Amino acid sequence: MADQRPPLTRFAWFAVAAAVLTIGLKAGAYLLTGSVGLLSDALESLVNLVAAIAALVALSVAEKAPDEEHAFGHGKAEYFSSGLEGALVLVAAAAIVITALPRLLNPVPIEQIGWGLAVSTLSTLINLAVAQVLLRAGRTYRSITLEADARHLMTDVWTTVGVLVGIGAVAVSGWTRLDPLIALAVAANIVWTGVGLVRRSLLGLLDTAVPEGERRVVEGVLERYQREAGIQAHALRTREAGARRFVSVHILVPGDWTVHQGHELLEAIEHDIRDALPNTIVFTHLESLDDPASFADTNLDRSPLSSGTIDA
């Protein structure tokens, strides 16, 4: 079950510490060199810090046990963190553009390039290490919060590499406008990441279905039972909420089966689906193959209004 995951807040604390360290390193590199590209990197690291704190809060909420008001748990809290991170990324991109455009029109020489390259390289290696740790944890424990933080940090790594290339190009060519041009390219890359994070978070809040590959796993389990037990299945629906998957399906059995037979079959089906897809909550509904109404019972909303008729 999703609520049996080990506490993940330790990974968020790790990200907070790394963000504080890289902010100090990049801010120092900017003060040494005056590079607006390095300033853009420092601004993005500030976003990393805010995002890491948001992740810490979201994971603390998501790890709370289900209660009477939240019977399905608090897993969706993770989507608020990843959505906030996406929005902050877009704000950082705007700040970079505002900073870079004046430098593009009025170039400023870059000083002490060697120190800037050294400090930025160190901060990039720190971000790379932290991103790999968070990405592995996010995939292992199905945490969109940790995965989003990791992907953002990896974007930070690649954009820092671009900035360092720009500084090196300025040192070789002497063309100072390369620095703000690289900063604008960084901003464009950050926008792409931010939009992706916001989109994924919104889809999670809208109860989007599980990926097609995971749905096929469920369908494979159902098809096996249909072949072996002579039953049918329909109205399969899936959704995700944080680390949890939710699966609901109607199972049609012969009308002369006892309640006990039907119950045992549903227990077996639910067990096999959970075994194939861990962290999955399975809801099954038993129906009779001998009742024609069973084959019309496929709508999510089964109220009279949904079928267009109202009983007198």
Residues 285-307: tens digit of each pLDDT: 999 988 887 777 666 666 554 44
Q: How far is CA 58 from the centre of its chain?
A: 12
pLDDT at 280 over 60: yes
pLDDT at 272 over 90: yes
Look at residues 208, 283, 207, 287 and name the one whose alpha carbon lies nearest to residue 255: 287
220 band by pLDDT with thresholds 50, 70 and 90:
very high
4 band by pLDDT with thresholds 50, 70 and 90:
low
Q: How far is CA 52 from the centre of its chain?
A: 14
Mean pLDDT of 29-33: 74
CATH 3.30.70.1350 occupies which residues in the chain? 212-307
Question: Which pLDDT score is estimated for 307?
Answer: 47
Q: Which two tokens stand for residue 239?
A: 């959704």
Question: Which pLDDT score is estimated for 108?
Answer: 61
What percent of the chain lies above the pLDDT cut of 90?
A: 21
Given the candidates 3.40.190.10, 3.30.70.1350, 3.30.980.10, 1.20.1250.20, the CATH classification of the domain at 212-307 is: 3.30.70.1350
Question: Which pLDDT score is estimated for 310?
Answer: 38
Mean pLDDT of 78-92: 77
Q: How many CB atoms lie within 10 A of CB 10?
A: 11
Q: Sheet containing 280-288: which strands, arranged edge to edge?
A: 232-241, 244-253, 280-288
CATH 1.20.1510.10 occupies which residues in the chain? 2-205
Least confident of 1-5, 48-52, 252-256, 285-289: 1-5
**Residue that the structure tokens 């900017």 belong to:** 30
Least confident of 67-71, 143-147, 228-232, 258-262: 67-71
Q: What is the sign, positive or negative, of the torsion defined by CA atoms of 148, 154, 158, 163? A: positive
Mean pLDDT of 126-151: 86
User: By CB neighbour count within 10 A (0-12 exposed, 13-18 middle, 19+ buried), where does 82 fall?
Assistant: buried
- Based on its alpha-carbon atoms, the radius of gyration of the chain, rounded to whole angstroms, reads 26
Alpha helices in the chain (DSSP H): 9-33, 36-62, 77-105, 113-141, 144-173, 178-205, 212-229, 259-276, 293-296, 304-307
Bridge partner residues of 244 (DSSP): 241
pTM more than 0.85: no
Asked if 76 contacts 203 with a C-beta cutoff of 8 angstroms, the reply is no
**Residue that the structure tokens 């720190």 belong to:** 126
Question: Which pLDDT score is estimated for 257?
Answer: 92
Bridge partner residues of 233 (DSSP): 251
Least confident of 27-31, 173-177, 227-231, 290-294: 173-177
Mean model confidence pLDDT for the chain: 79
What span, in angstroms and rounded, lies between the C-alpha atoms of 312 and 306?
A: 16
2 band by pLDDT with thresholds 50, 70 and 90:
very low
- The CATH number given to 2-205 is 1.20.1510.10
Asked if 86 contacts 203 with a C-beta cutoff of 8 angstroms, the reply is no
